[in-house]
Amino acid sequence: MAALISVSPAAATVTLPPGTIPVPTSGTFLYLSSDPLDFIGQGMEQLYTSPDSSFTASLTGHGRYFTASLLGPDSHFWGVGVAAPEGEALAVGSYVGATSSTLPPPGTPGLSVSGDGRGCNMATGRFDVDELKQAVSGDLLVFQATFEQHCEGADAALYGRIRIENPPPAPDTTPPTLVVPDERTVEGPDDVGTTVPYGASATDDHDPDPTVQCSPESDSFFPVGTTIVTCQASDRVGNVATASFPVHVFPPLQLDASLANAGTVDARTGAATISGTVTCSRDISLVMTVRLTESLGKRAPLTGFYRAPVDCVAPATSWSATVTGQSRLLPGDATVTAFASGCEVVCHSASATSTVHLSAGR
């Protein structure tokens, strides 16, 4: 038998008006009775029960929100939502001064009843939570609320009662599903470390709000290097799931580029060979872009371009580029700019500009 969290019925403040349909005292049902001018109920008295209608219901937000919906005969559809004031859980008792249940103002309970395509832009009213039972696992067993709703501030009211009865669940032996990152990699502002945010969450088949705890916590200070974060998720009956992931904190990348002061021009192709070095404090994949310009007095300058990947292996890697232009390059002095860029955790770049003497090659 499932353990219960149970409360007894409270004295009602909402009284259902006399009607022609007997209101059940048990089972799952939605009873509605509206004044003739009420927009939502259209002056009708209605009863939907579990034999003729399909009900879904949940208690979420650490017990703050109750929502229920039903699909009845002839495609009738109704939804009921009540909410405790912010920071509170629903409990047996009376809630007055309610407004629309989706986003009630602070300190205000919420109420929203809609159906068959009709809803209020602004609902006001009150409701009683008559009965509330939960299994220790968090499963909703019994919920009953009696409500009075006024649409758009009208005097006409929609009255009703929603009751949900669920059978006790089977014993819960399944731990929550814990979701953590595979890893987190960040670059710190210095060689010491930095604060690192991360996300960890859990879901559970029975407990709508499993507890998640991680150490070190998100937004803690993590030193340079690798730190293992261990997380634990637990549900109301004590089932536990654990997971861990590494947080890598890199010091700032030191990246620099330089050019050799001499190069060659292939006499057959007119392509220039340029070389240089990139230095890096850790291995990083780069893209090297080289632009060459030769000034020829009053003639238009000759230009060449090169772009290719370069893997910098710490502490330094030499590179060589064959620069080609729209026309043949010539021996002589050229202005060369080399630009190295790469992205890992963040993007980095370095550049060098130098006059390179190009000699004639074979």
- Give the amino acid at 265: V
> From CA 258, how far away is CA 337, in angstroms rounded?
9
Write out pLDDT tens, residues 17-61.
999 999 999 999 999 999 999 999 999 999 999 989 999 999 988
Among candidate residues 268, 258, 257, 261, the one with its CA nearest the CA of residue 324: 268
Task: Report all structural domains of the chain as residue ranges with CATH numbers, in order of start.
Answer: 4-165 (no CATH), 177-250 (2.60.40.10), 255-360 (2.60.40.10)
> From CA 113, how far away is CA 128, in angstroms rounded?
14
> From CA 303, how far away is CA 353, in angstroms rounded?
15
> From CA 334, how far away is CA 294, in angstroms rounded?
5
Q: What is the pLDDT of residue 100?
A: 87
Cβ-count burial of 186 within 10 angstroms (0-12 exposed, 13-18 middle, 19+ buried)? middle
Q: What is the pLDDT of residue 112?
A: 95
Q: What is the pLDDT of residue 6?
A: 40
Q: At CA 186, angle to CA 181 and CA 190, rounded to 5? A: 150
Rg (CA), the chain: 36
Structure tokens at 235: 């549900």
Question: Is the separation of the CB atoms in 158 and 113 below 8 Å?
Answer: yes
Question: Is the separation of the CB atoms in 295 and 317 below 8 Å?
Answer: no
Question: Is the separation of the CB atoms in 157 and 32 below 8 Å?
Answer: no
> From CA 282, how far away is CA 348, in angstroms rounded?
12
pTM score: 0.60
Structure tokens at 155: 């005097």
Q: What is the pLDDT of residue 7?
A: 39
- Specify the DSSP class assigned to residue 104: P
Residue 184 to residues 102, 180, 181, Cα–Cα distance (Å): 35, 10, 7
Structure tokens at 274: 């340029």
Q: What is the pLDDT of residue 101?
A: 63
> From CA 137, how far away is CA 3, in angstroms rounded?
8
Q: What is the pLDDT of residue 102?
A: 66
- The dihedral built from the CA positions of residue 192, 197, 202 and 207, taken in this order, carries a sign that is positive
Among candidate residues 40, 27, 124, 26, the one with its CA nearest the CA of residue 78: 40
Tally of CB atoms within 10 A around 85: 17
Phi-psi region of 37 (alpha: psi -120 to 50; beta: other; left: phi over 0): alpha
Phi-psi region of 208 (alpha: psi -120 to 50; beta: other; left: phi over 0): alpha
Ranges of residues in the chain whose predicted pLDDT is under 50: 1-10
Q: What is the pLDDT of residue 199?
A: 97
The 10 Å CB-count burial string (b at 16+, else e) for 8-31 is eeeeeebebeeeeeeeeeeebbbb
> From CA 317, how far away is CA 306, in angstroms rounded?
18
Give the 3-state secondary structure of residue 362.
coil
> From CA 66, how far away is CA 129, in angstroms rounded?
10
